[in-house]
Structure 1
Amino acid sequence: MKNIRTLPSALALLLGLCAALPAFAQLSLSICGPLKGSHYGPYDYRPDHQKQSSDPMSHAEKRELVEHAHFTPRVENLIGAQSGGMIGSPGPDLSYTLRAFPNNHRALVSVIRYGEKFKTETPPGLQYPVECYFERAIRFAPDDVIVRIIYSTYLTKKSRSADAIKQLQISSDLAGDQPFTHFNIGLAYFDLKEFAAALQSAHRAQALGFERPDLQEKLRGVGQWQEPAPVEAAASAASSASAASAPSQDKP
């Protein structure tokens, strides 16, 4: 009798695990596919990260070749196909673009919007589920900060806040001294209502010379803005802390 009573809860747990499987399975190599295999690419979308230095075709020429044939405004705005006589959905052209340039930032944004348009991870003509394109982009270019920020916005919309925060934390580590990147990270944190992290990113961008007040105004609007500590005071505090932690060298 005891076993019969516990069956509903056990079944509920099993069903819950099964329901969670697609979110994990879609990120596996078997589902998201290898990066190689396309007759063209894969190439890095960032012009300063071209990996095949012996290739006679310039980065700009590669991008022009792909985008002129497959990632036109018609495709980017999800109006319809570009190849194949411009008949059908933009899915195949988006797929081709992201096979050739897995970390094409604009195409990744379009893929998110494409999934939203049809309210599914597998909209018409797309070779892989939407999230796979981020798995592939990160596998191809793990140091691409912009990819991770875009991915965080996707995860935020999916109510996967912990995963979104993880991507932003990695982005902060990768951003270095790029003020605009820290600003964008701060905006993403703000959308997650992670105000302390957003404030830290805003201060970082400001310290690096970024002057746009958008993030500051957003934080001020929810009562979360604080002026950064003066540089001199911060330097003095750091110097004092360093001196206090240094071993004493008393004279005999």
Structure 2
Amino acid sequence: MKMSIRRMLSGFVFSALLVAVNTASAQGSGCGPITSRPSFGPFDYRTATPVQLRTVEGFHFTPDVEMMRRGKSTSVLAADIAYTLRHFPNHHRALKTMGDWSLKVKRNPPPGGEVTVECWFERAARFAPDDAMVKTIHGLYLLKRNQPKEAVEQLELALAQAGEDANVHYNLGLAYADLKQYDKALSSAHAAYRLGFPLPGLKNKLERVGAWREP
């Protein structure tokens, strides 16, 4: 009996240590733990129910917020996006909008955004490490910030998870082209167009530098 109690206590101590380690790891990232205020979620955006989504999107991530026209609940646009991302850390459209809004107002974090855009992406990746779309959107944000090397890192991770994806191949090609790695950019372009990507921008970009070749 004493041995059972001792083992039970040891298990509790071990569990407490795991919680402490995970908390310290989250805090060590500089972006803090993933929490929602008030207590609702957090939920995975990919598997959330219509009711869960409507509860947040109906009052915070409205079309006006997504189109970056005006905030809904507090008139501070980034505050509504931050509210959405607290409850759905990997909300794809909200992540894109937070990044775009930060670039538009030239502030990071934007007013009301709580933490940097990079932190929102870090939290999303930590919350849903198997979500390739989070990495894709992060890569697009980094491309817009003229950080092609970092964009390549995110988009290669996205491709490894998503498999043959025309959108990821296309944007990876843009990043390679910005790095003047034209052979890799051409390979990505061929893959994107083979998979049906409709926009000619990457092909045009390679043509301008004499790097385009037909498959």
- TM bucket normalised to smaller: 0.7 to 0.9
Residue 42 of structure 1 corresponds to which residue in structure 2?
42
Work out whether 1:212 is the aligned partner of 2:162: no
Is the 2:149–2:175 contact (alpha carbons within 8 Å) kept by the matching residues of 1? no
Residue 64 of structure 1 corresponds to which residue in structure 2?
54
Q: Distance in 2 between matches of 1:192 and 1:152?
A: 14
RMSD: 2.6
Name the stretch that deviates more: 218-227 or 180-189: 180-189
TM-score by length of 2: 0.74
Residue 114 of structure 2 corresponds to which residue in structure 1?
127
SS of residue paired to 1:196? helix
Is the 1:149–1:188 contact (alpha carbons within 8 Å) kept by the matching residues of 2? no
TM-score by length of 1: 0.64
Unpaired segments ≥5 residues, structure 2? 1-25
Is the 2:155–2:168 contact (alpha carbons within 8 Å) kept by the matching residues of 1? no
Q: Give me the identity figure in percent.
A: 43
Work out whether 1:201 is the aligned partner of 2:188: yes
- How many residues are paired up? 188
Name the stretch that deviates more: 188-197 or 111-120: 188-197
Unpaired segments ≥5 residues, structure 1? 1-26, 51-57, 229-252
Alignment of 1:45-194 (within 5 A): 45-46=45-46, 50=47, 59-84=49-74, 88-194=75-181
- How far the C-alpha of 1:141 sits from its partner, in A, is 1.8
Q: Distance in 2 between matches of 1:206 and 1:117?
A: 30
Is the 1:149–1:185 contact (alpha carbons within 8 Å) kept by the matching residues of 2? no
Q: Distance in 1 between matches of 2:167 and 2:148?
A: 23
